[in-house]
A and B are shown apart, each in its own frame.
Chain A
């Protein structure tokens, strides 16, 4: 295994982008990443793209070839691979691209993530997202995707005394970060009352506890670390990559308030990076719902199990806090075009480690972590990156 660096990043705006199609979004992000990296088209060995459900959202499968074509690579006939792991499709696309370079098979690859979710009505989007849960034993009986996370929240409140206000504080913090991010879907700060008074989706979670339906794409250029300096003065090295899985249905697990997929993926990434949670300077975590961020900071080892709510309330996860979480605004405010999310998270970490994050910049950020969850925790990827 050889070292791999990120030498280019590209993002579209996230949001309701009615004037942009699936293929326009991914080719825009890809082109930005390639231009940022300085590589030429002919140097690219392969394309990877994460998309959860292009088939249901835009009625289009065969996404690998489509992306190669839309990006102007079809005449080069390079391999193009679509990767799916529900909401962790982006994180997994990165891991597959990373492994292909680490193995020595490829030197330079472009990895993208994309979802075009607003070509269907909101209700259909909800149904499509529910395909990440167990269709036959959860969704069939009336469990919606938000209700699965709501059941985690209810149990977390029951076991650890986490409060409704602490959940709301996650949304408040992430919207305040999103307000500093020009690519975020929501760029307006909110307060706790806004969250508590918004309409109920699945008790105890309100609309403002939920990440939005979004369009968007993100892309990275990965390069063998020994060649990265040829393109970029400040390549950002991937020093740990982990992935794990768990039962598809939430009910099939003994623990409701722990995602073991996060524990195992993080363990793998920390071990490879030879680091511990206390060494991480900032993290982008999968806050598809406010409770998910609380679970994530506990399962990643930043705080003790059960202490996540208090940590949010004590503001240790703000941009100037002890462990800044979701400086981009997270899925909650930056937006959650599912296939793009995991790639966008790493783009944020790279921007931070380069020192290019502007108003969101975390002081002296050297090591960042990205955590991407599929479904209600049935899959997870964790990546750790370091500024060299």
Chain B
């Protein structure tokens, strides 16, 4: 899936490195990843979407353990993948790290951490971004 130029990954560095989403200034709804317009306010929101850094704290809505992984992720399998709801509202898909596979539960509190996501073989680019780990109590 990672064919193509570096620009495809470079342009998403702010979102993937720092969890920068955006907010509709009309209805104040937050989005991650950032959207060009707000689906509720549509034309009224054009030009009124403001970048916003998210806290990176949230909870697990659901999860799976991936056993059969694509080439770029093979070295990591079996690994947990989850849908996480951030405290500010938006949901995203991410791996869970620093957690025993048997300890992952729906509803568990998690927080974002900066990690290597995948690499294109031995000589290709390495891509970084967010993963989530159990939140410190």
Given A142-B66, A158-B62; A251-B127 close (CB under 8 Å)? no
Given A140-B127, A251-B93; A154-B62 close (CB under 8 Å)? yes
Given A136-B12, A142-B76; A127-B83 close (CB under 8 Å)? no
Question: In the complex, which residues of chain A have a beta carbon less than 8 angstroms from the beta carbon of B81?
Answer: 141-144, 147, 151, 202
Which chain B residue lies CB-closest to A138?
B93
Q: Does A251 lie within 8 Å of B117, measured CB to CB? A: no
In the complex, which range does the number of interface residues on chain A fall in? 35 or more
Question: In the complex, which residues of chain A have a beta carbon less than 8 angstroms from the beta carbon of B70?
Answer: 123, 126-127, 130, 139, 142, 144
Q: Roughly how many angstroms separate A346 CA and B61 CA in the complex, as a whole number?
A: 36
Out of B62, B76, B91, B130, name the residue touching A152 (CB < 8 Å): B62
> Interface size (B, Cβ < 8 Å)?
34
Judged by DSSP, the binding face of B is strand
Question: In the complex, which residues of chain A have a beta carbon less than 8 angstroms from the beta carbon of B33?
Answer: 136-137
Q: Does B117 lie within 8 Å of A154, measured CB to CB? A: no
Which chain A residue lies CB-closest to B91?
A251
B106 within 8 A of A: yes
A230 within 8 A of B: no
| Most central of B62, B69, B78 by chain A CB within 10 Å | B62
User: Which positions 60-101 of chain B face chain A at CB distance < 8 Å?
Assistant: 61-71, 73, 76, 78-79, 81-84, 91-95
Mask for A256-288, Cβ within 8 A of B = 1, else 0?
100000000000000000000000000000000
- Looking at the assembled complex, report how far the CB atom of B95 sits from the nearest CB atom of chain A, in whole angstroms: 5
Q: Does A140 lie within 8 Å of B83, measured CB to CB? A: no
Given A123-B70, A123-B71, A127-B70; A147-B64 close (CB under 8 Å)? yes
Given A130-B1, A131-B1, A137-B93; A251-B65 close (CB under 8 Å)? no
Q: Does A250 lie within 8 Å of B68, measured CB to CB? A: no
Judged by DSSP, the binding face of A is helix
B118 within 8 A of A: yes
Q: Roughly how many angstroms separate A199 CA and B93 CA in the complex, as a whole number?
A: 24
Which chain A residue lies CB-closest to B79?
A142
Q: Does B68 lie within 8 Å of A201, measured CB to CB? A: yes
Q: Does B68 lie within 8 Å of A144, measured CB to CB? A: yes
Measured CB to CB, the residues of B under 8 A from A are 1, 12, 33, 61-71, 73, 76, 78-79, 81-84, 91-95, 106, 117-118, 127, 129-131
Having A140-B129, A150-B64, A203-B78, one finds 10 other A-B pairs with CB under 8 Å, namely: A136-B12, A137-B92, A139-B1, A140-B117, A140-B127, A144-B69, A146-B68, A151-B63, A202-B66, A251-B92
Measured CB to CB, the residues of A under 8 A from B are 123, 126-127, 130-131, 135-144, 146-147, 150-155, 158, 199-205, 249-252, 256
Q: List 28 A-B contacts (CB under 8 A).
A: A127-B1, A127-B70, A127-B71, A130-B1, A135-B1, A136-B12, A136-B33, A139-B70, A140-B1, A142-B66, A142-B73, A142-B76, A142-B79, A142-B95, A144-B69, A146-B68, A147-B64, A153-B64, A154-B62, A154-B64, A155-B61, A155-B62, A199-B67, A201-B68, A202-B68, A250-B93, A251-B61, A256-B62
